[in-house]
A and B are shown apart, each in its own frame.
Chain A
Amino acid sequence: MKTNIILAGVGGQGILSIAAVVGMAALENNLYLKQSEVHGMSQRGGAVQSHLRISDKEIASDLIPEGTADIIISVEPMESLRYLPWLKENGWIVTNTTPFVNIPDYPNIQDLIGAIEKFPHQISLNADEIARQVKSVKSSNMVVLGAASPFIDIPYASFENGIRQIFGRKGEKVVQLNLNAMKAGREFSEKKRKHN
């Protein structure tokens, strides 16, 4: 197996936590992993991305070549479209629909959703709302990960273990909130795929 994932968002939205959880899950399954992340300047509210590659064979490049990403996972709707040149023909977009508006020329949200819904392979969800429903307001990133998890060929239990390892030092309550958020995202995604 080989999965190329582009993680997208705005600096501070928690895409590195998603990467860390997937990374732990991959390690548990003895998969090779390369993950390149963005530090520095753009973390200040700028567009950020991370390339995450998982494979059962050794991985050469830290960067995903254009046109070969299997999934774009985005915690922000506009950001889900910024890396489209990387998406392969039948690739999936999994994105949060709650906009993060910190620029004056942020596009109309309905137009954005329209642009996303044009794709045959996409799951868009209001992750912030879902996070609120399960009382994990700060874990919308884990909701998005949950929604993307069916597209990553790793057992769900490994993602759960990933959350336990990454958030463990913050206490059991934080772990549980993140687990609940991820589960809610996954259920949304599975329901939506059945409907399609």
Chain B
Amino acid sequence: MQKLLLLGAEAIAQGAIDGGMSGIYAYPGTPSTEITEYVQKSKAADKRKIHSQWSANEKTAMEAALGMSYAGKRAMVCMKHVGLNVAADAFVNSAITGVNGGLIVTVADDPSMHSSQNEQDSRFFGKFAMIPILEPSNQQEAYNMAYEGFELSEKFKIPVLLRITTRLSHSRAGVQTKENKPQNPLTYPEDPIQFVLLPSNARKRYKDLLALQDLIDEDSEKSIYNFYFDGSDKSLGIISCGIAYNYLMENYPERNCPFPILKLGQYPLPHFKVEKIVNECRNVLVLEDGYPFVEEQLKSFLDKSGKIKGRLDGTIPRDGELNPNIVGKSLGKPVKTSFAIPKIVANRPPELCSGCSHRDIYNALNETMKEFGKQKVFSDIGCYTLGALPPWNSINSCVDMGASITMAKGAADAGVRPSVAVIGDSTFTHSGMTALLDCVYENTPVTIIISDNSTTAMTGGQESHATGRLEEICVGLGVKPEHVRVLTPLPKYHDEMVEVLREELTYEGVSVVIPRRECIQTATRSKKESKAKGEEVTT
């Protein structure tokens, strides 16, 4: 037991380690990546033989965690919010099967889309699956919730959703750790068909889940994370969810908020406490990061009273993350800024690193596409998405992982020639392989460029499941070996790359081009690491 300075993400990892976890499963994704990375680096986790290798995607991670839970052990699965879309089938059904060992599904949402395609709110998924949701307001609670979450899951025999947002995940503060709990022994579920969701059993399991709802409501009602602070001024009541509580308190440095506050950290909503604050106060302000999840539940469709204030009535902006100023404004506290940003300050968007292999393939692709016309290149999610920005302007889509290949297929079916996909190696093994199989199945004329930098670069350089096996996978899926072309993306091979691209773009069938050169970041890092210690390096 010690005091550590931890990111919210790291606090969850440490809480899970101390809470008796036997395995963590995840695919990287900002802002969730650091949870698993922390376990991978933890000496304690290593000593306790906690599984922490990356999974191919969020769905495989969710399923592996469920399998570990089936065997009686405590497991955690982590992902970013859009990862839960990928894992949704397994996730929703895991509430029906229930668990054996405790299972925590940790999902990091990204309001304001610092590094994401959307700002969806995972609490809706938790409600949809009808399981308890925990939402910490600070790093200590993040630790505690992970530490205790396995027991909550085991108490009701269903998974628990732990929801955090970018700000908490990537902010550091002191965390007091607790005593290490032992891992569970290997046990099988009491009922051998608990996990068999044949309709006959699924109907029974679903009724069990419905019957549990009163109990998880009651648990929320009693939860220490749902706390009612009384206040003398009942003209306003404030409901704060998770981290919003901190922004609220920031506006009362002396901790003298005159209004009653309901601080929420566990869902389903605690009915009595919510009713109390709504009945006692003239107006109710709902502060929540993400979608108006609580606000919508309070504000019924037919209610025209205008009593509930929040994102839906414009008191708080409808989109984007909260901050102390937005919360202050909603309480009528003006923001006092002294300086504006001078006009001279230019935008500085992210860019492909100098020396990055994606640069070379985009240069070659742009030159080749001059002959074939514009707007025919579908792409995907990763560092290479920056090829959508100047000076390249090479790609025309980025939707969800794997979509480049299947969108190129659909466009080819519609008559687009050539129809091109640009995808990263890790994204390809995450969700591109089944898409390629669709193309092979119909021999659709598409050219798929797998820009292979042999890592998952965008999220910080985690190992890629694709490394060393891309050609085999493509040929195994049915691409003709002569149309799997490997290139070395370097300026000196520019003409050669253009030549190969031209050949494959005119081929009326499935072709895969693999420009392969290690990510400049991971290459530099491993060079530094292999150099003797004592060199002049700071990072």
Contacts and interface: CB of A to CB of B under 8 A. Distances in A.
A67 B173 contact: no
Nearest to A105: B346
B495 to A, nearest CB: 27
Interface in A10-32: 10-11, 14, 17, 23-24, 27, 32
Contacts of B34: 39
Interface string A40-52: 1111111100010
A138 B350 CA distance: 22
Give the interface size bracket for B toward A. Answer: 35 or more
Interface stretch (B185-193, B334-342, B410-418, B504-512): B334-342
Contacts of A23: 5, 172
Given A63-B323, A66-B325, A87-B338, A115 B344 contact: yes
Interface stretch (B127-135, B292-300, B529-537): B529-537
A167 B536 CA distance: 11
B287 to A, nearest CB: 12
Contacts of A67: 335-338
Interface in A70-90: 78-79, 81-89
Contacts of A142: 538
B458 A41 contact: yes
Interface in B492-539: 533-539
Choose among A39, A106, A141, A172 the residue with the greatest number of B CB atoms under 10 Å from its CB: A39
B342 A115 contact: yes
Interface stretch (B48-56, B163-171, B365-373): B163-171
A36 interface: yes
A124 interface: no
Nearest to A89: B338
B239 interface: no
B341 A36 contact: no
Given A42-B114, A111-B344, A62 B168 contact: yes
Contacts of B331: none
Contacts of B347: 47, 103
Interface string B18-34: 00000000000011011
A14 B346 contact: no
B140 to A, nearest CB: 11
A131 to B, nearest CB: 10
Given A36-B171, A43-B350, A174 B536 contact: yes
B538 A139 contact: yes
Interface in A84-130: 84-89, 102-103, 105-107, 111-112, 115
A136 B536 contact: yes
Interface in B247-301: 247-250, 253
A65 B250 contact: yes
B167 A63 contact: yes
B114 A88 contact: no
Contacts of A85: 337, 339-341
A44 B247 contact: no
Given A27-B174, A89-B338, A174-B534, A41 B350 contact: yes
Contacts of B393: none
B353 A45 contact: yes
Given A60-B246, A89-B338, A33 B5 contact: yes
B459 A40 contact: yes
B182 interface: no
Contacts of A107: 344-346
B31 A39 contact: yes
B324 interface: yes
Contacts of A141: 538
Given A65-B328, A66-B335, A85-B340, A103 B346 contact: yes
A35 interface: yes
B292 to A, nearest CB: 21
B475 interface: no
B351 interface: yes
B172 A35 contact: yes
Nearest to A51: B171
Nearest to B383: A44
Given A39-B31, A40-B30, A33 B243 contact: no
Contact of B350 (A11, A139, A174): A11
Choose among A40, A87, A174 the residue with the greatest number of B CB atoms under 10 Å from its CB: A40
B386 interface: yes
B534 A173 contact: yes
A190 interface: no
A33 B538 CA distance: 23
Contact of A17 (B247, B324, B539): B539
Contacts of A115: 342, 344
A39 B5 contact: no
A51 to B, nearest CB: 8
B180 interface: no
A82 B349 CA distance: 13
Contacts of A84: 339-342
A122 B391 CA distance: 36
Contact of A137 (B247, B353, B459, B536): B536
A41 B338 contact: no
Nearest to A116: B342
A62 B172 CA distance: 8
Nearest to B386: A44
B304 interface: no
A35 B325 contact: no
A50 B272 CA distance: 40
Nearest to A64: B324
B348 interface: yes
Interface of B: 5, 7, 30-31, 33-34, 114-115, 167-168, 170-174, 243, 246-250, 253, 323-325, 328, 335-342, 344-353, 383, 386, 458-460, 533-539
Interface of A: 10-11, 14, 17, 23-24, 27, 32-47, 51, 59-67, 78-79, 81-89, 102-103, 105-107, 111-112, 115, 136-139, 141-142, 167, 170-174, 177-178
23 contacts: A33-B5, A34-B173, A35-B173, A36-B170, A37-B171, A38-B114, A40-B114, A44-B350, A44-B352, A44-B353, A47-B347, A60-B248, A63-B324, A64-B324, A65-B250, A66-B336, A78-B346, A81-B341, A81-B345, A85-B339, A87-B339, A103-B348, A172-B534
